[in-house]
Chain A
Amino acid sequence: MNKGEIVLRSYILGAGFLLVTWWGIALLMELPIVPAPDKVFMKLSHVFLPVIAIHGAYSLWRIAAGLALAILVGYPLGVVMGYFQRTDRYLAPLVYLTYPIPKIALLPILMLLAGLGELSKVIMIFLIIVFQVVIAVRDGIRTIPEETYYPLYSLGASFMQVFRDIILPASLPKFITAVRVAMATAVSVLFFTETFGTQYGMGYFIMDAWLRVNYLEMYAGIVVLSLIGLLLFGVIDLIEHYACRWQHR
């Protein structure tokens, strides 16, 4: 059995365990608010393509856009702060002062400034992820021992060469971990923002089903949201597997 098969089997086992637990609770409670999984999956198969898929696509696009923006801004900032210690002295206070602000508290302001549409939601996700990326990349670069640079310095390497051969590969594992940790928060925050000012997105769909007292659809939405999370984590794991190959030896 190869590695891929082992991973697949453990995922199937995990999903099976969750399903059995869910089923047990549903059977015990016998309430419409906790429907059995078979009914939910039946419903899902009927409504996924005609109804849910478009909501899922919207949610995925918002996460992808927020994440891309956070990496585009956060990674270079983290590199600058980690490699040029003098800039860190001035930038660190700024980051530390703004990092603890609960970003969700800014949502009303964001919606006033950036509108109720896509932009405010993408910026929200960006704000949640960017700080973790900055800190992780900076700390990842700081832990590189000075001697690691010596062979390149004595070869007269340019900054771009040092970046390519040392900074990028050395900071990659911590960077990927930061994205992974931030992703879970981003999904929950996304859910919240999608309950305002939109008719699309998994957050809207789930809340709408709830208000229509359509519990089966609500659960179908929750299952899809969980699968979106699984997809995102899977992609991150895959990227890590190939980009940080040297770590797994």
Chain B
Amino acid sequence: MIEVEHLSVSYKAGRKTNIALHDVSLTVPKGTVCAVIGPSGCGKSTLLKVVAGLIFQYEGRAQIDGEPINPRTMKIGFMPQNYGLLPWKNVADNIRLGCRIKHALTADTDREMTALCARLGIQGLEHRYPQELSGGQRQRVGLARAFLLHPDILLMDEPFSALDAITREEMQAVFLDLWQASGITTMLVTHYVEEALYLGQQIVRMSAQPGSVAEILDNPLSGSSEKRSSPEFFAMGQQLRAKIKAMGVQA
């Protein structure tokens, strides 16, 4: 479970103090996916960084399973926008990185990795380097790393944004398949309305200047490709899009 209460983050740029997040509160129940959506500059990446333990100067409270966030004692899986693959490590070493840092490499790890690679369709690429892969393949390697670690929580920053539309839909389905098997508490940031509706059981809509939560809604349409082609899905998408657009005009 991720709990964020009255979270405010500001940073100094020269003499000015910019407020990135103002009084943000939200809860992601255990075993659910929360999609954070909003216009650019609404602080959604900052929010993710606080939960990932990358920003530790903030006001308010941020907790994972009732404990203050601490990357050393917790297993936080963080997937940045560029997937965070290290160019000097081959695919296998990149996938194992999380487990290695956490000293969780066992005899089973390699077996599990092989199975995971097969499921993600990247078997046979283990000895390649990230720059030899396509965008979709890198995304799959990033997912393999995240899921091999069995993290307490999984955080993804615009995970599918860099992909073309067809690959993106394919990868969303791949993610959902893995997620449904593991049930890891997940928070993902996106600017695609369809992505939020398809993946998030809970959708947090944020507004900009200063970044704050505008609306939290439960989404009954997540998690299946049948619902994705339903009229309700389309209608809700239009509604959400209109709201985000309206905010952009106000700002």
Contacts and interface: CB of A to CB of B under 8 A. Distances in A.
Nearest to B103: A161
Contacts of B52: 150, 153-154
Nearest to A243: B88
Interface string A20-57: 00000000000000000000000000000000000000
Contacts of B98: 151, 155
A18 B77 CA distance: 58
B76 A155 contact: yes
A156 B70 contact: yes
B111 interface: no
A85 to B, nearest CB: 16
Given A156-B73, A161-B101, A151 B88 contact: no
A60 to B, nearest CB: 31
B80 A151 contact: yes
Contacts of B192: none
Interface centre among A147, A153, A156, A244 (most CB of B within 10 A): A156
B86 A154 contact: no
A165 B132 CA distance: 20
B101 A157 contact: yes
Interface in A203-219: none
B97 A165 contact: yes
Contacts of B74: 156
B102 A155 contact: yes
Interface in B153-183: 155
A156 B53 contact: yes
B72 interface: yes
A147 B82 contact: yes
A249 B80 contact: no
Contacts of A166: 86
19 contacts: A150-B49, A151-B78, A153-B52, A153-B54, A154-B52, A154-B54, A154-B71, A155-B71, A155-B75, A155-B76, A155-B101, A156-B71, A156-B76, A156-B102, A161-B101, A165-B97, A165-B101, A170-B88, A244-B88
